[in-house]
Structure 1
Amino acid sequence: MKKRSIMLGSIVILAVLLVVGGTMAWFTAEAKPVVNTFKAGTVDINLIDEFPENGIENVNPGDIHSKVVRVENIGSKRAYIRVKLTPEFNPELPVDVVEYTILSDWIDGGDGWYYYKNIVQPAAATSNVIEEVKFKGREMGNEYQDATFTLTVEAEAIQATNGAINDQWGIDPVDLGLEVLP
């Protein structure tokens, strides 16, 4: 009976502790969530090609025609910019009878592309790549009559940070003589 009284007393004490413990309140706190937002910038360019929309008709050997080409950085990131010029006659004839001078701010990468030597800031543009196209006089013989010359201009840009130019284009800006970010 004494055992039973001890057992019953223990059960009662445990029940009282559970009821009292369950109704006790504790001070607590929670921090408000913090949201960290990272928005990527943009690399975007506009190829500016000042040339008559319908081309130039009736070209003669010895003619010089204005053709101004430059690239504008319309993205939000600083960028390296490169340009490729592809000359072609139709029918297929040698293109060495046509001259266009690549201006001094552009470096021949040896890979078919010309690289602008400076990093182009957002809302800025490169200097001109070329400004005119010359058709050589004496070298442009009768076989060029009725031929059509096209100069296709392509431009690309890549972010100027984190080695993207080397990783994507395989170009070391230091070796090529391009501007490098500090």
Structure 2
Amino acid sequence: MKRKRRAMGFLAGAVLVGALFCSGIYAYLTAQAGQVNQLTMGENVIETEEEFPDPDPKPGESIKKVVKVKNTGDVPCFVRTQVLFSNGEAEAVSSIDLNTVDWTEKQGDGYYYYKHILPAGETSTALMTAIKIADHASLDDLKDFQVIVYSESVQSEGYQEDAFIKAFESLTD
């Protein structure tokens, strides 16, 4: 009888230890902690606006070419623009009337950088207002003359400085 009691006690103890062990594992495996995070998406979209009458460039002339960038997205952004000529001869005899108050000079990467954050729905000041053709240019230099404008932007939110940091280093000096 003592043996049966001892065996029953041992069995009860084993069941109790097993139950505690299993409940601990179950608690570990089913424990959850949650937190709700709100994530909002901003739309960073720009449009390059150009006022450029269809010119017939001639030596010594100044051709109207107004280039601005409009932020059509819903977040403020930083903007940079590149101005390219269709051929090297036309570029060699042309100069751009630039706005260097609100835009940088052409940087080493070929872009002009807007010095301000461009708010959503707003338009930048003009990067350029005209292209001047040198007096000594020949009509052959101006054959197939085109000016190509390309703009890029990045969202400004979350940056202490602009996202094009390396290009703007010259602005902070």
TM-score bin, normalised by smaller chain: 0.5 to 0.7
Structure 1 or 2: more helix by fraction = 2
Q: Does 1:82 align with 2:80?
A: yes
Partner amino acid, structure 1, of 2:71: N
2:114 and 2:141 mapped to 1: Cα distance? 33
2:164 equivalent in structure 1: 165
2:131 and 2:50 mapped to 1: Cα distance? 13
Conserved in 2, the CA contact under 8 Å of 1:83 and 1:153? yes
Structure 2, unpaired ranges of 5+? 1-33
TM-score, normalising length: structure 2: 0.68
CA 71–60 in structure 1, closer or farther in 2 if over 3 Å, else same = same
Q: Identity over the aligned pairs, expressed in percent?
A: 24
DSSP-derived class of the 1:93 partner: helix
1:144 equivalent in structure 2: 141
**C-alpha deviation, 1:109, in angstroms:** 5.3
Number of residues of Structure 1 aligned to a counterpart in Structure 2: 155
Q: Does 1:125 align with 2:123?
A: yes
Find the partner of 1:101 among 93, 97, 112.
97
Deviation sequence 1:24-51 (CA, Å, 0-9, x none)? xxxxxxxxx9854312112110110112
1:72 equivalent in structure 2: 70
**C-alpha deviation, 1:139, in angstroms:** 1.5
1:10 equivalent in structure 2: none
**C-alpha deviation, 1:77, in angstroms:** 1.7
2:172 and 2:160 mapped to 1: Cα distance? 18
Structure 1, unpaired ranges of 5+? 1-32
1:105 and 1:63 mapped to 2: Cα distance? 25
1:13 equivalent in structure 2: none
Partner amino acid, structure 2, of 1:165: F
Partner amino acid, structure 2, of 1:176: L
**C-alpha deviation, 1:94, in angstroms:** 5.3
1:51 equivalent in structure 2: 52
2:36 and 2:130 mapped to 1: Cα distance? 54
TM-score, normalising length: structure 1: 0.65
